[in-house]
Amino acid sequence: MTFPRCLPRLATLLAAATAAGFLVAQPLAERQDWIQLFNGRDLTGWSPKIRGYPFGENFGNTFRVEDGVLRVAYDQYETFDDRFGHLFYRDKFSYYILAVEYRFTGEQAPGGPPWAFRNSGIMVHCQPPETMFRHQRFPASIEVQLLGGSGTGERPTANVCSPGTHIVMNGELVTRHCNPSRSPTFHGDQWVRVEVIVHDGQTIRHLVNGEEVLAYEKPQIGGATPADFGEVSQREGELLTEGYISLQSESHPIEFRKVELLDLVGCMDPQAKNYRKYFVKADRSRCRY
């Protein structure tokens, strides 16, 4: 095929890649463009919501920073007692790439449910934490489920779970709570990098160590009961176009050495000083000339 005849095909492939979220954002982004949500020193910008306690109370020093890593620990728990927790970042986002580097360590807290062995998660498009009631277990959100292997067998990570929500896959509404990714299993205490590409209420994609392992679209409120999610249950079918980010505590210790975000909303005027080719949503109020 001659080069000119290849052009329409090339254009189609590029358009498809852009629509799919493969915007080559990371190679185009400068290192300083990434927002370090975790500063490596303390929990500045983060606030906990642990089941049974008011927003802001860090029961048992569950979320802490030690030796430059953000740790989720249970050494001050006599028993887990369904104290599911979430550490919320202060800002909400709509179009972005979120990246974490995590590893599971140690033993599960006494009283933790069997399914929570080496189990945690990144919650995106979360409801505002102050709207959660005291004994709510999970925020209405989309969970990027993080799993570690047991030493044998397969247990993929970066799956998707849907507390109070539904998603669409292959054109069909998915109401099943958890859906597996295509990732390999990571046994032991090795570090794993997971990236989540979020395009408001359109598409969400999961990458593990640089490889795509899952994709879906149209995250929305669904299946939320009043007993579990309060007023959120009244918004059935509402698309989730933005929300907060949180990290889970589900009874197994986990460490995060990096939590960073590349905002895909910004100035799309090429004449501006802060123009970036990887932005996918324009916000002229951010332009600087």
pLDDT at 242: 98
**Which residues 6+ apart lie within 8 Å of 3 measured at CB?**
none
- Reported in sequence order, the residue ranges of the chain that DSSP labels E, i.e. its strands, are 35-36, 46-50, 63-66, 69-72, 85-93, 95-104, 119-126, 142-147, 159-161, 165-169, 172-174, 178-179, 192-199, 203-208, 211-221, 243-249, 254-263, 265-266, 281-282
In which residue are the tokens 């079918």 written? 237
Tokens coding 39: 């500063």
| Residue 10 within any structural domain of the chain | no
Q: What is the pLDDT of residue 27?
A: 62
Contact assessment for residue 240 and residue 142, using Cβ atoms and an 8 Å cutoff? yes
Token digits for 202?
């359109």
Give the pLDDT confidence score for residue 26 in this predicted structure. Answer: 63
Q: Is residue 115 part of a domain?
A: yes
Query: One-letter amino acid identity for 190?
Result: Q
Best CA proximity match to 124, nearest among 53, 238, 201: 201
Determine the structural domain holding residue 150 and report its residue range. 35-286
Q: For the domain that residue 85 is a member of, what is the CATH number?
A: 2.60.120.560
Query: In angstroms, rounded to a whole number, what is the distance separating the alpha carbons of residues 60 and 77?
Result: 6
Q: Is 139 among the domain residues?
A: yes
Neighbours of 264 (CB within 10 A): 23
| Residue 40 covered by a domain | yes
Q: Are strands 254-263 and 35-36 parallel, antiparallel or unpaired?
A: antiparallel
Query: What pTM did the predictor assign?
Result: 0.91
pLDDT in tens, the chain (289 residues): 444 444 444 444 444 444 444 444 666 788 889 999 999 999 999 999 999 999 999 999 999 999 999 999 999 999 999 999 999 999 999 999 999 999 999 999 999 999 999 999 999 999 999 999 999 999 999 999 999 999 999 999 999 999 999 999 999 999 999 999 999 999 999 999 999 999 999 999 999 999 999 999 999 999 999 999 999 999 999 999 999 999 999 999 999 999 999 999 999 999 999 999 999 999 999 999 9
Judge contact between 125 and 140, C-beta under 8 A. Answer: no
* Closest to 209 measured CA to CA, from 189, 187, 184: 184
Per the structure, how many domains does the chain have? 1
| Pairwise CA distance, residues 244 & 49, whole Å | 13
How far is Cα 241 from Cα 98, in angstroms, rounded to an integer? 15
Per DSSP, the residues of 86-130 read EEEEEEEESEEEEEEEEEE-S-PPTT--GGGTTEEEEEEEEPPGG
Q: What is the predicted pLDDT for the residue at 228?
A: 96
* 210 in any annotated domain: yes
What pLDDT score does 25 carry?
63
Burial class (CB in 10 A: 0-12, 13-18, 19+), 271: exposed
